[in-house]
Amino acid sequence: MLNELRSPNWLGGELGEDDLIAVYEKSHKKIFDSIVKYSRKELVAKHELYPIGEACEFGEWKITELGKERAWREGILLGAHLRHEYRNSASRSRSDDLSSHDEF
């Protein structure tokens, strides 16, 4: 996933090569990689991405219904198939949408 995110297709070329290879002074870990990994952990903790397991393989970022709802609400671009799925599920009540997340 990190290699894919580094491509100009994802961030529109907003990050330069210097941004992608920058490292923290003390740990020498790559800043970009650390931010992406931290972001994934936070989204999983908020139940907006599935954790790695049966529903999501390593290297995938699979969005939950709660994550789709937030992305739609905040105007984050989703692929056409996700927008279609969200519109179709919007007719269900909010409590029905969130009840599937009780297992987390």
pLDDT at 47: 96
Q: Is the pLDDT of residue 86 over 80?
A: no
Once rounded to an integer, what is the mean pLDDT over residues 3-27? 82
Which is nearest to 35 in space by CA: 1, 69, 72, 74? Answer: 1
Confidence of residue 65 (pLDDT cuts 50, 70, 90): very high
Q: Is the pLDDT of residue 58 over 80?
A: yes
User: Which stretch of 39-48, 49-58, 62-71, 92-101 has the lowest confidence by average pLDDT?
Assistant: 92-101
Q: Could you give the CA distance from residue 63 to residue 50 in angstroms, rounded to a whole number?
A: 6
DSSP code string of 11-72: HTT-S-HHHHH-B-TTT--BHHHHHHHHHHHHHHHTTSBPPSSSSS-TT--PBPHHHHHHHH
- Asked whether the whole model's pTM tops 0.85, one would answer no
pLDDT at 98: 46
pLDDT at 9: 72
Domain ranges of the chain: 1-45, 63-104
Which residue would you say has higher pLDDT here, 103 or 12?
12
Q: Could you give the CA distance from residue 17 to residue 79 in angstroms, rounded to a whole number?
A: 27
Q: What is the sign, positive or negative, of the torsion defined by CA atoms of 99, 38, 62, 91? A: positive
pLDDT at 55: 85
